[in-house]
Structure 1
Amino acid sequence: MKETGVAFLVTLALLAAPLAADAQPDRVPRIGWLVFGGPFSETSPGLDAAILRGLRELGYVYGKNVALQYRYAEGRAERLPELATELVRLKVDLLLGIGGDIAVAFQKATSTIPIVVGTSTDPVRARLVPSLARPGGNLTGVTFLSEELAAKRVELLKEVMPGASRLGVLWDPAHADNDFQEIQGAARRLGLRLLSLEVRRPGDLDAAVGTAVREHVDALIVVPGRLMALLDKRITEAAASHRLAVISGWREFASVGALLTYGPNRLEGSKRVAYYVDRVLKGTKPADLPIERPTTFELVVNTKTAKVLGLTIPPSVLARADEVIE
């Protein structure tokens, strides 16, 4: 009787094992998220927050069907390689971040874990991928770069300030893009002289603006990038103190006093990064996902700044504006 009882229990245990396995929840994917700045939430104004909102719209809920492992550089670029390596050691399922510098840190840390990034650099020129259409390797995502718009900004400036003859270009040579070359070409076509004002670190800004003032430029064109975005308010305030108009590619500049901006909607682009995360987590290889270029552009005009500078924005420009800051 004892043997029969033991046999019955063993049989019951074997039958129950598959049921227990079926009852186990699916493994939750883990995302290693490297943030250039500090902590944020869905309601924060930055691009990382836009990705978080995009993930929620796609059905991802932190702690329920996705785990997020954050690392924050707190604005210190030199920490990115170390933090990227930390995330790789956690053996996460996917690495995520905003910025060409973060993409480089990820690529140096791993060649196997899928990487999804949003970047304002040219991924090909930065040697992140061989081509946008066929990225290959383990990296994909979205680029906010649209180089043809650099020339359009020069044309807009000439339309708003027809008497302008000399432009200063604030740019970071370390940022991988062709904007400066495109601006040079547009300036030649429009008969404008350019003054190159290199800003490689925050401490270079005051000297660059000082040079622009001494050389009597009529306006400043800011080539958008990580460094310039961090300096946006300082740039517009310094320019305002010398009654210089500022034009750039990202709406954040217009929000803090630039005369106008024309460029991609980076918040919408960041939400597209979430789409790439979803595709990779569902099994698509990064190598098979073409890197997406921006398709939505916006013209933002700051008429409050125009009044301070004594400028009248032509009706033709106002009619094309997606937003007018008054």
Structure 2
Amino acid sequence: MEQVSGSKTFLLGILTPSTHELDNILNHTIPELAKSGYVEGKNLKIESRLGKLEDLANMAEALVALQPDAIITVGPPATHAVQSATTDIPIIMGFMGQDPVAAGLAKSLAQPGGNVTGTLILGQDLEGKRLQLLHETLPERKRIAVLLEPGNKLVKAAMEEDLLGLDLVVFTADNPKSYPNVFTRMRTEGIQALLIAPSPAFFRDTEILVKLALENGIPTMCQWPEMAEAGCLLGYGPNYRELRRQTADYLVRIFKGESPGSLPIQQPSQIEFAVNLKTAQTLGISVPISILMRTDLVIE
């Protein structure tokens, strides 16, 4: 473990709508910080806020009032809430789900220029690849549902560029109470497979979504390999551990005095593909050998 000179205690804020994401930050990012000498209870204090989307603005203002040295945000709503409350305190986006330049959070990915930097994990290339892998796994299934949070324009744009000749049907949901009705509509409309778009809320609700998909006989492609471990048929996305290390690395650099505006907004370099054969068996699906040969993780 590295040693940090000086007697300063650093204050780190965290704002997220997801219990799961908060747990991951506390269990993975904070230990990475400790390796660089920033240890909770020694020279690091953490103030976290967890709440519903409609509460994020007030929580952001409360965090900013504490004048932390940096704030980690998870998802676009939390990032916008904090950025609206401060243009001075460094903000580290975790898993930003929309183009931060188009959203007015940064001047460019290479030189953000303001107080916001972090990790961008969504892109039309990833959505297209997820759709392609789902199609290759289930080539006879053409009527595909895409589950989005309302306002997810980035994924919608990727879907509009679909070149696979699929019949894509968009469904939206913004809370667990709406999920059962959405899946009932999918079954009624003859949906044959489902792409669950990247979203902190959907990640949080993986178990609920997986249960409903299995009950309705719908195979799923999800955003993280971890979601395949939880029961999605397929998972394709960034290496979670790498993202946590990136967040911790940027925090260390900011604690040492670097400006977030000069730290490029990063995109993941490691993408992993997982297949859940237990789910495949439950749904009566035979996964092609060509798909299995390309996986990084097979759940049996």
Q: Are 1:213 and 2:213 an aligned pair?
A: no
Distance 1:25 1:51 in 2: 22
Equivalent position to 1:250, from 224, 243, 264? 224
Who is 2:45 aligned against? Answer: 67
Unaligned segments of structure 2, at least 5 residues: none
- Would the alpha carbon gap of residues 39 and 246 (structure 1) be closer, same or farther in structure 2, given more than 3 Å must change? closer
1:117-266 alignment runs, 5 A limit: 117-122=93-98, 123-175=100-152, 178-186=154-162, 189-266=163-240
**3-state SS, counterpart of residue 293 of structure 2:** helix
1:132-179 per-position Cα deviation (integer Å, ceiling 9, x unaligned): 11111111111222330111111111211111121111111334x522
In structure 1, what residue type is equivalent to 2:12? I
2:78 maps to what in 1?
102
Separation in 2 of the partners of 1:209 and 1:94? 40
Check whether the contact 2:219–2:283 (CA below 8 A) recurs between aligned residues: yes
* CA distance in 2 between partners of 1:174 and 1:40 (Å): 21
CA deviation vs aligned residue, 1:9-63 (integer Å, no higher than 9, x gap)? xxxxxxxxxxxxxxx953222222334345999xx5x244321122112221123
- 1: CA distance, partners of 2:196 / 2:18: 22
Query: 1:66 Cα shift?
Result: 2.3
Q: Which residue of 2 aligns with 1:53?
A: 31
Q: Does 1:268 align with 2:268?
A: no
Q: Does 1:290 align with 2:264?
A: yes
Distance 2:32 2:93 in 1: 14
8 Å Cα contact 1:38-1:72 kept in structure 2? no
CA contact (8 A) 2:145 2:186 kept: yes
Deviation at 1:237, TM superposition (A): 0.9
Contact 1:47 1:266 in 2 (8 A): no
Contact 2:272 / 2:296 at 8 angstroms: preserved in 1? yes
Structure 1 equivalent of residue 290 of structure 2: 316
Asked whether the 8 Å contact 2:17–2:201 carries over to 1, the reply is no
Unaligned runs of 5+ in 1: 1-23
What amino acid is aligned across from residue 213 of structure 1 in structure 2? R
TM-score by length of 1: 0.84
Whether 1:78 aligns to 2:54 is yes
Alpha carbons 2:19, 2:204 under 8 Å: kept = no
Change (3 A) 1:299 1:40: closer
Q: Is the 8 A contact 1:71 1:83 kept in 2?
A: no
For 1:88, the equivalent position in structure 2 comes to: 64
Partner of 1:178: helix, strand, or coil? Answer: helix
Does residue 27 in structure 1 map to residue 8 in structure 2? yes
Which SS does the other structure have where 2:161 is aligned?
Answer: helix
Distance change in 2, residues 1:314/1:47 (3 Å): farther
Q: Quote the Cα distance in structure 2 between the aligned partners of 1:90 and 1:154.
A: 43
| RMSD (Å) for aligned C-alpha atoms | 2.1
Whole-Å separation in 2 of the counterparts to 1:311 and 1:174: 33
1:62 alignment partner AA: E
Q: Counterpart of 2:42 in structure 1: which amino acid?
A: K
Q: 1-side partners of 2:128 and 2:80: how far apart?
A: 28
Q: Distance in 2 between matches of 1:107 and 1:153?
A: 31
How many residue pairs get aligned? The number is 295
